[in-house]
Amino acid sequence: MEKTTFQWILNKLPYSKPFLFVDDISHVDSTGAEGTCVFNANAEFYKGHFVDNPVTPGVLLTECCAQIGLVCLGIYFLGEESKLEDLKIGMSSSEMEFLLPVFPGEQVRVVSELVYFRFQKLKCTVRMYNKEDKLVCKGTLAGMMGKSNG
């Protein structure tokens, strides 16, 4: 069976390094999304968070969950024909619980499940797992997803 490619979704992401936290999308459908990210061990923020014991800040774990679980899913709903310059994306709420640290160079996997997508508001639950498949963080994210009218 041929692997489905979601490169078209990655091409529409409105982020670039060093603020891109999506390396691969393994699954997207009308019920959710799944993908991975490796946090660059040489990222500048590790120098100060925390000195001599660096961990990935929770806000960046949340951002990774949002990029994979919310934005990639939203782009899927808006469709392959939509143009990047026409996409309007904004997070409207987040509630996250952090359970384990993510260290420099560590790969994580994010799984999202759709709660609803209506009136251009997308809401989903997200879970992040480490390489040992242990739950790192979980929560609920919501955002506005749509195409501009111009």
Environment class of 17 (CB within 10 Å of its CB; exposed 0-12, middle 13-18, buried 19+):
exposed
Number of helical H runs and strand E runs in the chain = 3, 6
* Strand arrangement, sheet containing 121-129: 24-29, 32-38, 107-118, 121-129, 135-147, 87-98
Asked if 49 is an active-site residue, the reply is yes
Q: In whole angstroms, how far apart are CA 87 and each of 1, 17, 23, 65, 146? A: 32, 19, 21, 19, 6
Which one of the listed residues 49, 121, 138, 147 is annotated catalytic?
A: 49
In whole angstroms, what is the distance from residue 53 CA to residue 62 CA? 20
Q: Which amino acid is at 130?
A: N
Residues tagged active-site: 49
